Amino acid sequence: MRQSQKTEQKADHLRMIDLENQKQSEARSAASGENTNKNGISFKEIVLNRTNLNLAYQRVYRNKGAQGIDGMTVYELFDYIKENKTQLIESLSNLTYKPKPVRRVEIPKPDGSKRKLGVPTVVDRLVQQAIAQAMTPVFENVFSDNSFGFRPNRSAHDAIKRVTEFYDQGYHFVIDLDLKSYFDTVNHDLLMKFIRQYINDEWLLRMIRKFLTSGVMDGQLFQKSEKGTPQGGNLSPILANIYLNELDKLLVSRGHKFVRYADDCNIYVKSKRAGYRVLESISKFLEKDLKLTINRKKTKVGSPLRLKFLGFSLGMSAKGVYIRPSGQAKKRVKQSLKLMTKRNRGRSLDVLFKEIHQKMIGWLNYYGIGSMKTFIKDLDEWLRSRIRQYIWKSWKKVKTRIRNLVKLGMTKNQARIFANTRKGYWRTAHSKTLSYTLTNRKLESLGLINMSKKLESIQNA
Q: Please provide the DSSP assignment of 342-357 as one string.
A: -GGG---HHHHHHHHH
Question: What distance in Å separates the CA atoms of residue 131 and residue 62, rounded to the nearest whole number?
Answer: 18
- Whether 57 and 81 have beta carbons less than 8 Å apart is answered as yes
3-state DSSP of 60-93? HHHHCCCCCCCCCCHHHHHHHHHHHHHHHHHHHH
| CA-CA-CA-CA dihedral for 58, 61, 67, 68, to nearest 10 | -10
Q: Is the pTM of this model over 0.75?
A: yes
Would you place residue 130 in the very low, low, confident or very high pLDDT band (cuts 50, 70, 90)?
very high
Q: Where are the domains of the chain?
A: 43-302, 326-460
pLDDT given for residue 5 in this prediction:
44
Running DSSP on this structure, what letter comes out for residue 255?
T
Angle made by CA atoms 185, 285, 167, in degrees to the nearest 5: 100
Say what percent of the chain tops pLDDT 90.
83
Average pLDDT over residues 148-176: 97
**Radius of gyration, CA atoms only, the chain:** 27
Q: Percent helix, strand and coil across the chain, each rounded to 5?
A: 55, 10, 30
pLDDT given for residue 40 in this prediction:
66
Residue 76 has pLDDT above 80, yes or no: yes
pLDDT tens per residue, range 192-219: 999 999 999 999 999 999 999 999 988 8
Provide CB contacts within 8 A for 422, sequence distance 6+. Answer: none
For 148-200, give the DSSP string.
Answer: -TT-TT--HHHHHHHHHHHHHTT--EEEEE-BTTHHHH--HHHHHHHHHTT--
Average pLDDT over residues 142-146: 97
Angstrom CA distances, 14 to 10, 32, 56, 57, 427, stand at 6, 21, 11, 9, 60
52 C-beta neighbours (distance < 10 Å), count? 25
Residue 19 has pLDDT above 80, yes or no: no
Question: What distance in Å separates the CA atoms of residue 192 and residue 85, rounded to the nearest whole number?
Answer: 29
Residue 16 has pLDDT above 80, yes or no: no
pLDDT tens per residue, range 299-338: 999 999 999 999 999 999 988 999 999 999 999 999 999 9
Residue 8 has pLDDT above 60, yes or no: no
For 359-413, give the DSSP string.
Answer: HHHHHHHHHTTS--HHHHHHHHHHHHHHHHHHHHHH--SHHHHHHHHHHTT--HH
Residue 253 has pLDDT above 80, yes or no: yes
Would you place residue 345 in the very low, low, confident or very high pLDDT band (cuts 50, 70, 90)?
confident
Say what percent of the chain tops pLDDT 70.
91
Q: Name residue 259's beta-bridge partners.
A: 266
Question: What distance in Å separates the CA atoms of residue 387 and residue 345, rounded to the nearest whole number?
Answer: 13
Average pLDDT over residues 416-441: 93
Residue 155 has pLDDT above 80, yes or no: yes
To the nearest 10 degrees (0 to 180), the angle between helices 202-212 and 122-140 is: 130
Average pLDDT over residues 12-38: 41
Q: How large is the greatest C-alpha to C-alpha distance in the chain, in angstroms?
A: 88
38 or 183: which leads in pLDDT? 183
Angle made by CA atoms 64, 66, 72, in degrees to the nearest 5: 95
